[in-house]
Amino acid sequence: MIWTVTIELLFGMYAEENWSASIELDSLNTLEDLHHIIQDTVDFDNDHMYEFYISRTYRSRERIHFDDENEKIYDTTLESLYPLEKNRKLFYLFDYGDSWLFKISKSRKKPHNPEKGKKYPRIIEVKGKTPEQYPDW
């Protein structure tokens, strides 16, 4: 099924303004797939470590981690994560030095079958200026 998710930049070393994007994607995409989708959406170089985690807030100590070390990013699909437990959110942390942090939210839009002639994932809306990973100094 095709889902709509919103990816919202919470903060990053060089973030200048609020940014978010709504994307239609396959609910069977893994977290590794989602990592690449986010990288393509913000046009970042895929040159740093990253992780996903589920917690109440981005600062909560109680977290469920999905990363390369525990290999959960490779076989955990969006469909297997949602619905999240009450008051829990999914976060994506990229580059532990510059700390680009995104919140991923599943839209309440009704899931649908892929539409003929459309390629997924696909960006359906962007708000704000796309952040620059390495701005010119």
Residue 132 lies in a domain: no
The CATH number of the domain where 96 resides is what? 3.10.290.30
CA distance 26 to 79: 9
**pLDDT one digit per residue (tens) for the chain, 137 residues:** 999 999 999 998 777 789 999 999 999 999 999 999 999 999 999 889 999 999 999 999 999 999 999 999 999 999 999 999 999 999 999 999 889 999 999 999 999 999 999 999 999 999 999 998 888 75
CA distance 52 to 73: 8
- Token couple for 86: 């009450």
Residue 94 lies in a domain: yes
Residue 84 lies in a domain: yes
What total number of domains does the chain contain? 1
Residue 44 lies in a domain: yes
Residue 18 lies in a domain: yes
Give 41's DSSP letter.
H
What is residue 137's predicted lDDT score, i.e. its pLDDT? 55
Domain that holds residue 85: 2-127
Q: Are 3 and 111 in contact (CB under 8 A)?
A: yes
Other Cβ atoms less than 10 A from the Cβ of 86: the count is 6
Among 119, 103, 131, which residue's Cα sits nearest to residue 45?
Answer: 131
Residue 61 lies in a domain: yes
Residue 71 lies in a domain: yes
Residue 15 lies in a domain: yes
